[in-house]
A and B are shown apart, each in its own frame.
Chain A
Amino acid sequence: RKEVEQDPGPFNVPEGATVAFNCTYSNSASQSFFWYRQDCRKEPKLLMSVYSSGNEDGRFTAQLNRASQYISLLIRDSKLSDSATYLCVVNTNAGKSTFGDGTTLTVKP
């Protein structure tokens, strides 16, 4: 089983749509959780941290369920500029982060 598993995608949605990405992780000792976005041939960029209480940043909402070892990202009112690959990232200790394979989103006019 992969350490971090994401929806395989790709997701193709119209502008204005709401889209949700799911992620599960296998190590129950995992301590911190993030969503990154990566544009084609660019570096990953931190989108948001994910907290147990859930957190929101504008159109983006992240949720964490430690009992189910599940993380989600919801994007409301999708924009063309949201087209990217979204990476679920899990830290088990201070040494490293484990990345999911990523889910590709294409927002179409």
Chain B
Amino acid sequence: EPEVTQTPSHQVTQMGQEVILRCVPISNHLYFYWYRQILGQKVEFLVSFYNNEISEKSEIFDDQFSVERPDGSNFTLKIRSTKLEDSAMYFCASREQGAFNYGYTFGSGTRLTVV
């Protein structure tokens, strides 16, 4: 079964440092998403990406966050200057083009710990 792959599985970083979380979506999927889940809380939408541009973003996705699809396979989330409250599990997801009534396939997540 096709998978969404995320690396690293766990990242520890110091407050103020930049981090890049990486995702390889399923190859024939064209819609990409980042979500986050703070421990013990709900899954929260960050951003959606289609046709090489952001299609929607949440209030959480401020100027400290950016996304990129640098090479046609990877999809990255960058946090420029991490804060303690950025500690969370970050999930990448992808969906088939035109399959609006289909759910997402999520990657296994990157656990980000900011110290």
A18 to B11, CA, bound (A): 40
Q: Which of B41, B45, B105, B108 contacts A97 (CB 8 A)?
A: B45
**Contact residues, B23-54 vs A (CB, 8 A):** 31, 33, 35, 41-45, 48, 50
Q: How far is the CB of B23 from chain A (nearest CB, A)?
A: 12
Q: How far is the CB of A29 from chain B (nearest CB, A)?
A: 14
The prevalent SS among residues of B at the interface is strand
Q: Determine the chain B residues whose CB is within 8 A of the CB of A34 once the complex forms.
A: 103
Assuming A44-B106, A98-B45, is B100 touching A31 (CB within 8 A)?
yes
A99 at the interface (CB under 8 A from B): yes
Q: Determine the chain A residues whose CB is within 8 A of the CB of B104 once the complex forms.
A: 44, 46, 97
B56 at the interface (CB under 8 A from A): yes
B56 touches A96 (CB 8 A): yes
A interface bracket (residues with beta carbon within 8 Å of B):
20 to 34
A100 touches B100 (CB 8 A): no
A38 to B102, CA, bound (A): 18
Q: Determine the chain B residues whose CB is within 8 A of the CB of A36 once the complex forms.
A: 103
Q: Which of B55, B91, B108 contacts A94 (CB 8 A)?
A: B55
B100 touches A87 (CB 8 A): no
Q: How far is the CB of A51 from chain B (nearest CB, A)?
A: 8
Q: List 13 A-B contacts (CB under 8 A).
A: A31-B100, A31-B101, A32-B100, A36-B103, A43-B109, A44-B91, A44-B106, A45-B106, A46-B105, A94-B48, A99-B43, A100-B42, A102-B42
9 closest residue pairs by CB, A with B: A95-B56, A46-B103, A43-B106, A99-B43, A96-B45, A95-B48, A34-B103, A101-B42, A32-B101
